[in-house]
Structure 1
Amino acid sequence: MQANGTAISEPPAANIPKRSAWKTFLRYKWLYLLMVPGILYYIVYQYVPMFGLVIAFKKYNLMKGMWGSEWVGFENFRVIFNSPDFPLLIKNTVLISFYRIVFNMLPDVMLALILNEIRAQWFKRIVQTITYGPYFLSWIIVYGLVFSFFAPGAGLITTWFRDMGWGQIDVLTNSDYFRSLIITTDIWKSTGYGAIIYLAALSTINNELYEAAVVDGAGRWRQLWHITLPGIREVFILLLILRIGHIMDAGFEQIYIFLNARVYDVGDILDTWIFRRGIEQMEFSVPAAMGVFKSVIGLVLVLGANKLSKKVGGSGIW
């Protein structure tokens, strides 16, 4: 608008020059260069191995190779679905994954909220170091620690129970305790790492919201309910969706190390079955078909969880 009141007409959008893709690339060339290692990683280790999925539809023979082996279509999938072990494997895998989601996510949030309320920084750093330390231990070491406490007849706690006259306790080879042992050790190992993610989310909450809440007379519980928890809701939903997408995994490394013949009925999962059949028995086609089945189920679960998250007010992954 000019001083005399006449309006200044803006140039039509069609006449506004558009920056070419090449000029945009040259302007941000260093940022694109930083993307190259990540892109190469996913191409080499994620997309190129996808060509191996063809093994799931063949009767794979090491001598003939992937392309020379006999094509059998969906025969390997029929072998899986008709296997008497398949219902038990699905049940164990889903149950253990469900327990991980229910019992492992809440300790992460609770520890992050507690650390967020600690004002003594030296004490906060000590607690973080202690809780984060187990994350760096391998499952072999964790199992060694558990074995030293609960080894049948020779563990520290089992020996103490026997000496006190309380009888024998059987934790490692008792199917009633196996899943509880898996979840407990996983909580102990990963809670510190999970809390760091939520602490990062808590640090992004505007402090002015807390100051305004104090002025309005809100106590610590009100601030927690109306400011803190909504502030980490998106991160919680994101991690929940990712965990749902991996519900068919159930943690192979931990399960395989803790597994023994006496707890197969409650601990044998899809990944341990794939390992035994593929690596130990050198039968690659059926395990590959199982891997394809797992991937399809995981994709469906991620898409469904993401859509459900958007419907209930979350942002989802995309």
Structure 2
Amino acid sequence: MKLRRLKKPLGKEIVKHKYLYLLVLPTIIFFVVFAYVPMYGVILAFKDFDYSLGIFGSPWNDFQNFRDVLGNPDFVNAFKNTLFISFGRLIIEFPVPIVLALLLNEMFNGKLRKVYQTVFTFPHFISWVVLSGIVTTILSDQGLLNELLQVFGFGKNNVLTEGNSFTALLFISNIWKEAGWSSIIYLAAIAGINPELYEAASIDGAGRFQQIKSITWPALKGTAAILLILAVGGIMNGGFDQIFNLYNSAVYNRADILDTFVYRSAFTDATGFGFSTTVGLLKSVINCLLLFSANFVVTHVFKEEGLY
């Protein structure tokens, strides 16, 4: 005979763990105010917005905003650029923090390892506004690099105005800025590995590479899988802060992503809130589909723990 498990009333559970619920209350309030309450504005994508009538009073426009967006050549170009840059970040940038964490973990000198970790982590705290100013000062037409190249008799570089070079700059600068910070979570996972496993492997004759392959990497796979799912789920974002502060009209055809396109369409081209909301809605739907798809692949194909 199976014993029926008695469920405690929710109210009593909340009272019992009131301090834990109190700790998470600010986070709940944050997401309610800034994530859920504004969601009613999504209906702007389906309306011809009129300031005098408000959001709910404005007339429906029979999906005209979607036809305007999908028929806009600048949107199509920005969509392609977003996919190219985001998948590039996934392929090029995502493995770097994992490799960095593995390399730091292999350092025997603990003090030196902390120094390197601090050096690699520090760029994360520099805003893209400041960093873009530094990059522009160095790489611009009259910048430091071009001045040095001219002194030694070489031609000028055109990194900031040439599409392929600018795309490479996006990847390299973002790796330099974020790889150290992103490696922290992998280092935390490595710190949870029992040192006796390494000692046993060493006694059995396993080298450092074999220990990484058989001990360290299996401990990191679950963490990497979760972060990969989240990265795929945000693939349509592209990196607005970095691109907005670095790009210029000369590289619009290669660097203009959906977020920068929305910014220009809303504040420069004055296309209206309905147009911008439609682009944002399409982004969110695609990100949601990619998130569920990535979670399905990780859980059913690679047999790793997913988000659900």
Write the distance in 2 (CA, Å) between the matches of 1:72 and 1:48. 23
Q: Which amino acid aligns with 1:24?
A: E
Distance 2:112 2:76 in 1: 49
Q: How does 1:181-192 map to 2 (within 5 A)?
A: 181-192=169-180
- Partner residue, 1:293: 282
Unaligned runs of 5+ in 1: 1-10
Give me the CA root mean square deviation. 1.5
- Residue 62 of structure 1: SS of its match in structure 2? coil
For 1:224 and 1:286, locate their aligned partners in 2 and report how far apart those are by CA, in whole Å. 50
Counterpart Cα distance in 2 of 1:284 and 1:21: 42
Larger radius of gyration: 1
Q: Does the CA contact (< 8 Å) of 1:277 and 1:284 recur in 2?
A: no
> Aligned partners of 1:18, 1:245: CA distance in 2, in Å?
35
Q: Residue 317 of structure 1 aligns with which residue?
A: 307
State the Cα distance separating 1:315 from its structure 2 match: 0.4
Distance 1:43 1:164 in 2: 59
Are the equivalent residues in 2 in contact too, given 1:158–1:168 (CA < 8 A)?
A: yes
Q: Give the number of equivalent residue pairs.
A: 306
Structure 2: distance between partners of 1:129 and 1:314: 31
CA change 1:107–1:26 in 2 (3 A) is same
**Quick one: percent identity of the two aligned structures?**
38
Match of residue 296 from structure 2:
307
Residue equivalent to 1:196: 184
Quote the Cα distance in structure 2 between the aligned partners of 1:54 and 1:147: 40
Instruction: Report what 2:251 is aligned to.
Output: 263
* 1:160 partner amino acid: L
Q: Following superposition of structure 1 onto structure 2, how do residues 1-318 of structure 1 map, counting pairs within 5 Å? A: 13-14=3-4, 18-152=7-141, 154-282=142-270, 283-311=272-300, 312-318=302-308
**Letter of the aligned partner of 2:304 in structure 1?**
G
Separation in 2, partners of 1:291, 1:90? 12
Distance 1:212 1:51, change over 3 A: same
Matches of 2:175 and 2:184 in 1, distance apart?
14
Which has the higher mean CA deviation after the structures are superposed, 229-238 or 65-74? 65-74
Contact kept? 1:150, 1:158, Cα under 8 Å: yes
Q: For the residues of structure 1 that align with 2:77 and 2:65, how far apart are their CA atoms?
A: 18
Deviations 1:51-89 (A, max 9, x none): 110111111123332122221131101111111223311
Per-residue deviation, residues 66-123 of structure 1 (Å, max 9, x unmatched): 1222211311011111112233112100010011111112221111111112222221
CA positional deviation for 1:17: 5.3
TM score, norm. by length of structure 1: 0.92
TM-score calculated relative to the size of structure 2 = 0.95
